[in-house]
Chain A
Amino acid sequence: MEILGLLGDGMLLAVQPLNLALILVGVTLGLFIGAMPGLGSVNGVAILLPITFLVPPGSAIIFLAAIYYGAMYGGAISSITLGIPGASTAVATTFDGRPLALRGRASLALVTAAIASFIGGSVANILFTAFAPLLAAVALSFGPPEIFALMLLAFATFVGLGGDDIPKTIFSICLGLVLAAVGFDQISGAPRLVFFDITGFLQGINFLVLAIGVYGIGEMLWTIETTRGKVTTSEAKMSVKGIVNDSKEGMKRGWKGTTIGSFLGFFVGILPAAGATPGSLMAYGVAKMVSKNPKEFGQGHPGGVAAPEAANNSASTGSMLPMLTLGIPGSPTTAILLGGMVIWGLTPGPRLFVEQSEFVWGLIGSFYVSNVAALVINLAFIPLFIWMLRMPFTVLAPLIFVLSIVGGYAATKDMHDVWLMVLFGLSAFFLRKFDYPLAPAVLAIVLGPIAEPTLRQSLLLSSGDPSIFFTRPIAGPITVIAIILLFLPLINLVRRRMREGNAAG
């Protein structure tokens, strides 16, 4: 009952005029940002973070969370109509969304995506409300060894579940962590990694500089180069009667996918560093596995749209849970939100629920309001989004570059950082060409300032004995899971080799 009371207070806070206006603007912006190819929630949140300094922290996080929510809905739009995902979280949506659109059923795909997103978001909100305080209570007993073990788990999840090239993923994580160490050593206060004695490095490297460089410049350059700037749109017919009929058909054929996506997405979202992209891909895989007609998947099955869309919305809410309760982000976007909270003077982590109860419950309340707002705005604006996406890429791209440069400067007000951002952008373009995953670097630069001091404090506590991470009741199991995850790709490789050996023998 206490939770319902707090939630009620949170919802009242979320519908206050300023917050409600921010939710509506945020969701709408998010829908557009998510729908734009090459621009996902992470770009939107990174680029728009500097403009939140005008409002109180509670309203600022509600605004950014609304963008995140809207982008999860919007990502499906370009996946379905353009065949290229609006965001990485909507990659799986292209598998069945695009074939549906090519068959002239874009409306069915878009409506299914919107409703599945709503259901995914609603399930996640209820789970969040029920479990967040519980997890927060457990999290209160976390000391430096436990927090470092969690950081290790976050990085291990990326390596173990990532599926990308493992050495390149590890390289990316370490690079992000080293970049986070630039500036002054937090403990001794000595300057370190001041490259070529350039004084700009003394203030460290702001995570936004890397995030905007990678996503606003690097990814955009990559999109322009690989698509040659030519984006084609399929015709989509829309009518009110058609939307109602499509809603019925979408839910009839997609309910199983929606259910799987809603629950699986939430639990994958909670995993540190996993987030909505693996969540949506896993939900698609499971929905296909349990379907009576798995062969229809990939040919244009509404269930193939519903599962990843329900999952990415559910995971986006789920990934807020470890961010708020433990101070560790579940996705690149929440990594940026986390950075934002630090800038606003809030300390995410175990004590946030106790010390900033109003802030936390206002945010949770806003999830419910944002979810309803996103459904209504999405359905109403689907025809407009299709028209918007017909805007030539040669208009869209320069606008994104301008926003990136201006946003990057506004964050630190230093031209050194703008140059660094461009350098990161160009480097990211080439690294992307060679399949280096860059999201781990962005996560690492945010987690670095938490991981390093907790490791050093832990080792100081144990007089340099690393067994401290294995012997404590909470840190121990987390460290073991992290190590298993870290070696999972190697274990799988050995098992595969052994099976191949047995088969040959």
Chain B
Amino acid sequence: MRLGEIITAGVLALLSIYLMSESAELEIGYVRGEGPGGGAWPFWLSAIMLVTTVFIAINWVRRTSPPSRSEEPVLDREGWKTLLFVGGGILGFVALIDVISMYGAMFLFLLYYLKFLGRHSWFLTLSLAICLPIGFFFFFEGLMRITMPKGMDFTEPFFNVMYEIIY
């Protein structure tokens, strides 16, 4: 945790510098007759962010913040595994939205989470994985008229059938 604390502070300091340089593309000082320039607000806020990372580093050296005293790992083996499987599942879900549609990705994600991570019965897994996307489809597309991503062209016949039901 101690090493992670200073690495995080370093990364955030770099982020602050990057934000400062991006903000500096617009005027960061006072423009007579116009007030502070367009880049002033984000620039000076990013500068404060940079200063706070220096204080975080000072606290790290003096070991005054709890993470700077902790010798525990940020994530143990089990923690990394959880993050990989759950976080990876979410990334996979989002990546699949443009391929097999929001509803298709939702179905696969629920199948993956409930069966693979949760080890639930096929009955519960399939009931939720099928009913939930269908429920969401009628709610969003039918009731609220919000169109979710349809994915690639091959999903079209399926959606044609579903839209037949709504309209």
Task: Indicate if the CB atoms of A431 and B8 lie closer than 8 Å.
Answer: yes
What string of 1s and 0s marks CB contacts (under 8 Å) between B78-107 and chain A?
Answer: 110011001101110110011000100010
Task: Indicate if the CB atoms of A413 and B146 lie closer than 8 Å.
Answer: yes
Question: CB-CB < 8 A to B128: which residues of A?
Answer: 395, 399
Question: CB-CB < 8 A to B83: which residues of A?
Answer: 221, 225, 429
Task: Indicate if the CB atoms of B49 and A174 lie closer than 8 Å.
Answer: yes
Given A171-B56, A402-B110, decide whether A425 and B132 contact each other with a Cβ distance below 8 A: no
A54 contacts chain B at the CB level, 8 A cutoff: yes
Task: Indicate if the CB atoms of B42 and A455 lie closer than 8 Å.
Answer: no
Task: Indicate if the CB atoms of B42 and A406 lie closer than 8 Å.
Answer: no
Task: Indicate if the CB atoms of B56 and A190 lie closer than 8 Å.
Answer: no
Chain B residue nearest in CB terms to A458 = B35
Interface size grouping (class) on chain A: 35 or more
Question: CB-CB < 8 A to A433: which residues of B?
Answer: 1, 4, 67, 74-75
Given A192-B23, A434-B67, decide whether A418 and B42 contact each other with a Cβ distance below 8 A: no
Question: CB-CB < 8 A to B36: which residues of A?
Answer: 455-456, 459, 464
Interface residues of B in 67-81 (CB under 8 A from A): 67, 74-75, 78-79
A467 contacts chain B at the CB level, 8 A cutoff: no
Main secondary structure of the interface of B (DSSP, over half): helix
A122→B144 CA distance, assembly (Å): 35
The number of inter-chain residue pairs (CB within 8 angstroms) is: 181
Task: Indicate if the CB atoms of B41 and A181 lie closer than 8 Å.
Answer: yes
Task: Indicate if the CB atoms of B35 and A459 lie closer than 8 Å.
Answer: yes
Question: CB-CB < 8 A to A228: which residues of B?
Answer: 78, 82
Chain B residue nearest in CB terms to A456 = B35
Smallest distance from the beta carbon of B87 to chain A beta carbons, Å?
6
Smallest distance from the beta carbon of A169 to chain B beta carbons, Å?
9
Question: CB-CB < 8 A to B134: which residues of A?
Answer: none
9 tightest A-B contacts by CB? A394-B118, A460-B35, A185-B38, A398-B113, A167-B55, A167-B52, A171-B52, A181-B42, A174-B45
Partner-A contacts on B (CB < 8 A): 1, 4-5, 8, 12, 19, 22-23, 25-26, 30, 34-42, 45-46, 48-49, 52-53, 55-56, 59, 65-67, 74-75, 78-79, 82-83, 86-87, 89-91, 93-94, 97-98, 102, 106, 109-110, 113-114, 117-120, 124, 128, 132, 136, 140, 143-144, 146-149
